[in-house]
Amino acid sequence: MNTSIETGSADIVSFDDEPLILVDSDDNVLGHMSKAEAHAGEGVLHRAFSIFLFNSEGDVLIQQRAKAKQLWGGFWSNSVCSHPRRGETLAEAAKRRLHEEIGVDTDVTWLYRFEYHAQFGDIGTEHELCSVFIACSNAPVAGNPNEIANLSFVSSEQLDAALVKHPDHYTPWIKLEWPRIRDTYWSTVVDLLRD
């Protein structure tokens, strides 16, 4: 089944002053800091999440980040990624962001959590304790233009090859997350698609 891709809501859903949840490497909460401050300089470790959305044919949705995004604008990445807000569970935040960015309402399945640190020149840094989720839906996908420049469903083999052939077109986190999904969690993806 083909999934249609169109432009969705243009609501502003990201704010420089929204408080991110600061954590240590064991995910203990240390406090809160604005998104702008947490991404400045060397960055401050905070909670985040990434979602890989599949359709029932097994294709995965990738997005090209809006060019105006401060960090890695114009780069291709996973389906959706963001930060939980104060008082939200990671699963609640992931479901919220699926709706805000691509107009999809569906359940998410948690796979794993990892810490990474990536510097974007002298502009800023991602230093995140990131939870990785998968989801499956055939609902029409509509990208929020404030967050997304382009969307594409690709096969897992196409994404494997693209990350090897053109790694400089992709965000640092998808280059860490996707190979681990393929190597360690692919049976969970297959089970989700089978359901």
The question of whether 81 is a catalytic residue gets the answer: yes
Catalytic residue among 100, 101, 128, 147: 128
Q: What is the DSSP letter of 15?
A: -
CATH number reported for the structural domain that contains residue 68 in this entry: 3.90.79.10
* Structural domains in the chain (count): 1
Cβ contacts of residue 180 below 8 Å, gap of 6+?
112, 114, 132
pLDDT digits (tens, 9 = 90+) for 99-152: 999 999 999 999 999 999 999 888 889 999 999 999 999 999 999 999 999 999
More confident of the two residues 2 and 97: 97
Domain extent at residue 168: 5-194
Q: What is the pTM of this model?
A: 0.91
More confident of the two residues 2 and 175: 175
CA distances from 66 to 12, 52, 118, 141, 148 (A): 12, 18, 19, 16, 4
pLDDT for position 123:
87
pLDDT digits (tens, 9 = 90+) for 56-99: 999 999 999 999 888 899 999 999 999 999 899 999 999 999 99
The question of whether 128 is a catalytic residue gets the answer: yes
